[in-house]
Amino acid sequence: MDSSSGGQPYRILLLEDSAADTYLFRQALKNTGLKHDLTVIDDGEKGLDFAKRQGDYAAIAVPDLAVLDLNLPKAGGAAVLAAMRQHPELVGVPVIILSSSDAPSDKERTQELGAARYITKPMNLADYLRIGDQVKELLLESRAALERGA
């Protein structure tokens, strides 16, 4: 099983309001064999609290990776990403945008905000489950970069 250094599980934050998509994401991670702890936040307002390290979300550990949906109730994923990039503890956290939107403007905006990847939510199960492989790949790339001192 792959895990972060010292055998500790990777900390992954998922900002997603759809219970079905959360379930599929959990399955995608499970299929990778990646040792992980998943924290799920289900609306943008709570996501902003996390990104600003305030309220009920102030004590949540800094994740090794965040996966954000763009279309959330109360505040969008792009606003959460922008807030993360303003906070010193979260500025370097790799972020994957996982959204039903395929709009070029959404892709460009999130790239400008520092998202590492943009994944359009697949319509079929097999493709959705492959998202776990992309998550694992980015986590391993990030860990290697940290070890190199990049």
Domains of the chain: 8-140 (3.40.50.2300)
| Residue 102 CB coordination number (10 Å) | 10
* pLDDT tops 80 at residue 2: no
> Pseudo-torsion of CA 82, 83, 85, 89, nearest 10°?
-160
Q: CA-CA distance, 9 to 24, in Å (whole number)?
A: 20
Rounded to two decimals, the pTM is: 0.91
φ, ψ of residue 97 to 5 degrees: the values are -90, 125
Give residue 7's pLDDT.
74
3-class DSSP state of 115: coil
**Which pLDDT belongs to residue 150?**
54
DSSP assigned state of 57? G
Which is higher by pLDDT, 9 or 145? 9
Residue 1 has pLDDT above 50, yes or no: no
Specify the pairing of strand 95-99 against strand 65-68: parallel
Classified as helix, coil or strand, 63 is: coil
Q: Within 13 Å, how many C-alpha atoms sit on residue 115's CB side?
A: 25
CB–CB of 63/39 below 8 Å? yes
Task: Please list the residues that pair with 117 across neighbouring strands.
Answer: 96
